[in-house]
Copies of this chain bind each other. A is one copy, B any other.
């Protein structure tokens, strides 16, 4: 049997994959498992998008242009321009989800062995894309005690080497829900400008900003138009993750021409998803108002509920629909497994994601989990009660060692 590639072996597993069999086993026992482990919302896709799919008037499901359907690109430019991003349709390549846009960015901007600085904790799949592209991730650590604010400029500058080609941020952040302020982004602009780096911003949660805060895009930063790439997706905006439609956006025409060659090699983004995406541009504002309202309600229930539990620490997320939570346990991964394997409360339990997989620095996040508030309020309340009860009986809490010593 021929060997697998080294990079294939090095490719990281999903941080929750190990837990999936335990969740399945729990369900087989008849237990209700509240899935707060993935970013698959229960929010309905806008009717206008679903109807566009149902009413397709095609005899042949053809390839689209490699850059995407032009009318969709134009509509998307109009959408972004409502937020003052000032882009034209030619700055936009439609991609197969935000995932492909990130791969296009890594491949077009960085050589194998080059470095990208990413504030951690970060979306775990960035590791997978970096491994695929042979790019080295250099983490700069954001701390739960600072609410996961952008690390100080000196922390970035310490990490910049000859191989540093880019900084990658997610704003609002998955997994922290942190929303960068204008000032923080201007700090990044200064670093990027000084060292002539690419600034890749994953802005797929742009619409999910709470408490009257507004999203500030990297496209609003002056003087770095050639450095900036925005990664976008319709997955969360319209709760249509399965459409697999995203976008690679840059005002750097040479970069767009290079990314387009990657787009041409794979021929076309999904045509049906694009039809849904283009129609979704007509989604009424009331849809967003309701969705944001719903998420704020869920967030408030979650954060309030969690912070009431002794030893639990959770900053208030300003956007997206995730929170990174510190638990009073020795090892969050073991706790997550225990929840599925050994615990039940009224025949219910919770699946959450250990946060260590969202850090690149070994040893960080071992007491933290990521919780996605993608379930309705009733389910969320039940899940929090489960967690509360679980922590009361879990044997390996942070105090258990101390307790054992006393005994």
Contacts and interface: CB of A to CB of B under 8 A. Distances in A.
A270 B243 contact: yes
A44 interface: yes
A205 to B, nearest CB: 15
A112 B112 contact: yes
A118 interface: no
A18 to B, nearest CB: 12
A262 B107 contact: no
B40 A59 contact: no
Given A63-B241, A99-B265, A2 B197 contact: yes
A173 interface: no
A265 B56 contact: no
A53 interface: yes
A7 interface: yes
A198 interface: yes
A271 interface: yes
Given A54-B55, A111-B6, A242-B268, A252 B60 contact: no
A43 interface: yes
Contact of A60 (B45, B55, B196, B272): B45
Given A2-B197, A132-B107, A271 B242 contact: yes
Contacts of A276: 61, 272
A261 interface: yes
B54 A56 contact: yes
Contacts of A58: 45, 50
A50 B58 CA distance: 8
Contacts of A269: 244
Nearest to A49: B61
Nearest to A62: B242
Interface string A53-92: 1111011111110000000000000000000000000000
B63 A40 contact: yes
A73 B9 CA distance: 25
A362 interface: no
Contacts of A6: 111
A145 interface: no
Nearest to A130: B265
Contacts of A42: 60
A125 B63 CA distance: 15
A406 interface: no
Contact of A128 (B41, B63, B264): B264
A294 to B, nearest CB: 14
A107 B8 contact: yes
Given A11-B258, A268-B244, A5 B56 contact: no
Given A4-B254, A45-B59, A125-B266, 14 more contacts: A7-B111, A8-B109, A11-B107, A14-B261, A17-B264, A50-B59, A60-B240, A61-B243, A96-B96, A96-B244, A112-B112, A128-B264, A132-B265, A244-B268
Interface of A: 1-2, 4-9, 11-14, 17, 40-45, 49-50, 53-56, 58-64, 96-97, 99-100, 107-112, 114, 125, 128-129, 132, 134, 165-166, 196-198, 226-227, 239-244, 252, 254-255, 258-259, 261-262, 264-273, 276
Q: Which 6 A-B pairs have the closest CB atoms?
A: A242-B271, A128-B265, A61-B240, A272-B272, A99-B266, A1-B226
